[in-house]
Amino acid sequence: MQKLAIQGGNRLNGEVRISGAKNAALPIMCAGLLTADELRLDNMPDLHDVATMRKLLEQMGVTAAVEPGAVTLCGAKVDKLEAPYEMVKTMRAAILVLGPLVARFGEARVSLPGGCAIGSRPVDLHIKGLQAMGAQIHIEHGYIHAQVPRGNGSSKGCGRLKGARIFFDLVSVTGTENLMMAAALADGVTVLENAAREPEVVDLAHCLIAMGAKIEGAGSDTISITGVEKLHGASHRIMPDRIESGTFLVAAAAAGGDITLIDARADILENVLEKLQEAGAAIHVAGSTINLKMNQRPKAVNVRTSPYPAFPTDMQAQFMAMNTIAEGSAIVIETIFENRFMHVQELRRLGAQIDVEGNAAVIKGCAQLEGATIMATDLRASACLVIAGLVAQGETIVDRIYHLDRGYEHIEAKLSALGAQIRRLK
Ligand code: UD1
């Protein structure tokens, strides 16, 4: 199993290019199932999850022509309407094939994702939404089997979903994305209420609109979709990764330094940038660059995760790492996932002082962490441990970094270019 060895103590200086967003690329790849034409995607990140999604789509009959930083998908010959357990268990975003398959073919068989390290993460809202649109859904042998009865206004020999008004009890990103894709080909108007406002939902909407979908309100909590009979090919550029952006900024705020993100977007990072300023960093935004300068020990900052535009759960662990060496104490409250403090035990191995009570963690900043061997448990927890390694005294070994490769493109190369001492042990 691959590991990272980090020698702590270096400041970070220089420029780093931000990759395309994983959480936009994965749903947008699934949009390729909605048309028989070609969908070209640029600014694609080179990530393990992206490769897994491509394999899954290929198993279904989609062709994928890969170039550096781009992929062209073609769904003309989709013949297997199934996402097997082996794939869904390694990448929960595979659930995003459900809406497109049911919408275009009137049928799908997708494995239930089950739990993961950060919580139970059900998909009941995806299922209820499709049922409201006329799909009949049975759970059999751990699989969601969805079928739209024939004669449901269909012109294709299989049933067609019907527009519906759908209210989300909880704000769900992939739930909103799945139903938005399904509604794009449904008969009539679908209104999604209490929808997720995440920028990745907006990016997906832009791609669908380029494919001929009629969508209004993406980015607000009410999205209205007027279904069309057919979608066509398009080309789309994946938005920059706001979580990768935030992760590099927090790393520099914790380690000290002067870094500039290239190809980033400050407008979708407002909450994170404010928190970094509160920690004492100087932030300067110019066009698509974000510069951060930090010349002091960070001040502890409280964080409470909530759906966008509030503070993202995917940045919680990284801020926790910064708080461990900050001046003062901070409270970090996680409201999205019930078990997203797996990194706390590992940070404690480096000497961090953290108490957890339910969904709140109290962190007492200490002057110095000490390097040790620690284990990554999930994607963002891994990023948190890398940041801790960058500030710890001596060597930190981060084990099980396959989590990191799922969501961060060439992270050790990018950090090395900024002056970090980090290498991969194979
Ligand atoms: C997405 C992101 C993930 C991020 C999360 C929260 C992708 C591929 N993943 O995950 O990185 O951490 O948003 O912003 O974009 N819930 C239900 N029933 C459902 C769906 C969700 O109860 O049917 C609950 C979940 O358990 C959780 C909350 O709603 O408590 C938010 O989950 P959701 O937004 O759906 O997370 P993901 O879309 O899986």
Q: How far apart are alpha carbons 359 and 344 in whole angstroms? A: 12
pLDDT computed for residue 103 by the predictor: 98
pLDDT in tens, 149-161: 987 555 445 799 9
The DSSP bridge pattern shows strands 70-74 and 289-294 to be unpaired
Cβ 93 under 6 angstroms from ligand 1: yes
Cβ 381 under 6 angstroms from ligand 1: no
Q: What value does the mean pLDDT take over residues 378-397?
A: 97
pLDDT in tens, 170-220: 999 999 999 999 999 999 999 999 999 999 999 999 999 999 999 999 999
Q: What mean pLDDT, rounded, does the chain reach? A: 96
Q: What value does the mean pLDDT take over residues 229-250?
A: 98
pLDDT grade, residue 118 (50/70/90)?
Answer: low
∠ at Cα 232 (228, 234), nearest 5°? 130
Number of other residues whose CB lies within 10 A of the CB of residue 358: 9
Beta strands in 180-328 (DSSP E): 189-193, 214-216, 222-226, 234-237, 257-262, 282-286, 289-294, 303-304
pLDDT computed for residue 116 by the predictor: 66
pLDDT of residue 363 exceeding 60, the answer is yes
Cβ 199 under 6 angstroms from ligand 1: no
SS3 252: helix
pLDDT of residue 368 exceeding 70, the answer is yes
Percent of the chain past pLDDT 90, that is, above it, reads: 93
Long-range Cβ contacts of 207-211 (<8 Å, 24+ apart): 207/28, 207/31, 207/39, 207/234, 207/236, 208/31, 208/34, 208/180, 208/181, 208/184, 210/234, 210/235, 210/236, 211/31, 211/34, 211/35, 211/39, 211/184
Best probe residue, ligand 1, of 28, 29, 121 (max atoms within 8 Å of C-beta): 121
Judge whether 143 and 110 are in contact, CB under 8 Å: yes
Of 218-222, 232-236, 404-408, which gets the smallest average pLDDT? 404-408
Round the CA-based radius of gyration of the chain to a whole number and report it. 22
pLDDT of residue 60 exceeding 80, the answer is yes
pLDDT of residue 426 exceeding 70, the answer is yes
Please identify, by atom number, the ligand 1 atom nearest to the C-alpha of residue 23. Answer: 15
Q: How far apart are alpha carbons 383 and 376 in whole angstroms? A: 9
Residue 83 phi, psi (nearest 5)? -115, 110
Cβ 166 under 6 angstroms from ligand 1: no
Beta bridge partners of 136: 147
Q: Residue 422, Cα to own-chain centre: how many angstroms?
A: 24
Cβ 178 under 6 angstroms from ligand 1: no
Residue 34 phi, psi (nearest 5)? -85, -10
Judge whether 215 and 203 are in contact, CB under 8 Å: no
Please identify, by atom number, the ligand 1 atom nearest to the C-alpha of residue 243. Answer: 11
Contacts of 3 (CB under 8 A, 6+ apart): 397, 398, 399, 400, 401, 424, 425
Active site residues: 116
Q: How far apart are alpha carbons 160 and 68 in whole angstroms? A: 37
Number of other residues whose CB lies within 10 A of the CB of residue 196: 24
Percent of the chain past pLDDT 70, that is, above it, reads: 97
pLDDT computed for residue 158 by the predictor: 76
Residue 220: both structure tokens together: 């607000």
Residue 172: both structure tokens together: 């769900």
Residue 143 phi, psi (nearest 5)? -115, 145
